[in-house]
Chain A
Amino acid sequence: MNSCFRVKNLLSAYLDRELTGEEMLLVRDHVCQCAECSAEFEELRWVKSSLLTMPMVEPSDDLLDRVKGAVFAVVAPVPTAETRRKSIATIGMAAAMLFLVFAVMRWVEVQGQSPIVAGDRSDFAQGQDTVVDVRGSYSPGSPVMLVSAPE
């Protein structure tokens, strides 16, 4: 009985020759002696051979063309390791250029805001006053106070 239970679970694999040599011998010997397992084996063999001989279903004549049309119309370019690497490098390069542009703009801005020392009258001519105190700090837009040594 135990032998039947074990063998029945191996019948399909036996049919497909997917058992080890030892298991094959076990099943073969048992099937030869056991009418019930032999009948089950024949039924499984019938199912397998019926599936194998099922008639082919013919695809439509234009199936390949239709599928090709869909595949190459819908699908984006295939990314490969090489293109991915290049994409990352391109993004990196663009980011670096952007950083450079911002850095230059900032530098120009800082240069444009340099303190005006006494003697430089160009801002006065334009009506823009800059004050420079004795400690060297300045504040744009305040009234002019000339630097002089304490008496």
Chain B
Amino acid sequence: MKQGVVGVIVSWVKPKAGDAESRRPLFEKLMANSYQQAFQMAYRFTSNRAEAEDLLQETYIRAYRYFHRYDEALPFTAWLYRIMTNLHIDNVRRTSRLKTVSIDQPVGESSSAWDLEDSDAARGDQKIDDTLGEPLQRALQAMTPDFRMAVVLADVEGLSYEEIATIMDTSVGTVRSRIHRGRKQIREHLEHLSGVEHQGVTE
């Protein structure tokens, strides 16, 4: 009798691990198929290899934890990018808060409008450790995070406005506005950079 009761309890509790294990091969397969593309995205968001790897890892950890919520009828990458954009926003906000309370930076040092948009821009040129496409990547780094993510999803990933709206949990109209303003920010930033370089040559 005792064995019967214990057996029932064990059989009810044990399948927890079994369910996770049964979903692991599917997750591993999706991970292997998506990680390179997802790494590109993470790098465009962070402009730094080490931070991109951290963001990627954090994204997959969260994705696996909530894998039971994933609807297999939808593209895995779209679901993954949604997690990644949320994590990136959280990271940027956390860094911004740290920057706000920092006592290391002298008052009034950060006067550039670019610095105000995203604390990443204030961290210095050494953050971009790849020289490929550097001016553009630097322009991305200097952008408002919401604009940067919308532009990257549209122009690097080639997603439609509707897909981006789903990923960023916002309206198509907002996506349209963010992409337009984001591209203008990039153009202005490149003009700003070329102006600074031009000044440096003439001085």
Contact = CB atoms under 8 A, between A and B. Distances in A.
Most buried by A among B31, B40, B64: B64
Contacts, number: 129
A87 to B, nearest CB: 7
A24 B194 CA distance: 33
B43 interface: yes
A137 interface: no
Interface residues of A, number: 43
Given A78-B19, A78-B20, A81-B68, A67 B160 contact: no
A74 B35 CA distance: 18
Contacts of A113: none
A127 interface: no
B16 A79 contact: yes
Given A78-B68, A86-B12, A90-B9, A71 B155 contact: no
Contacts of A66: 53, 57
A47 B186 contact: yes
A108 interface: no
B68 A64 contact: no
A135 interface: no
A57 interface: yes
Interface stretch (A5-13, A29-37, A141-149): A5-13
A78 B23 contact: yes
B49 A67 contact: no
B179 A12 contact: yes
B184 to A, nearest CB: 8
A112 interface: no
A56 B40 contact: yes
Contact of A74 (B61, B154, B161): B61
A39 to B, nearest CB: 11
Most buried by B among A13, A43, A67: A67
A134 interface: no
A72 interface: yes
B57 A70 contact: yes
Q: For the complex of A and B, list the 7 residue pairs with the smallest distance between their C-beta atoms, beginning with the closest.
A: A77-B20, A12-B180, A51-B155, A55-B132, A54-B133, A59-B39, A78-B20
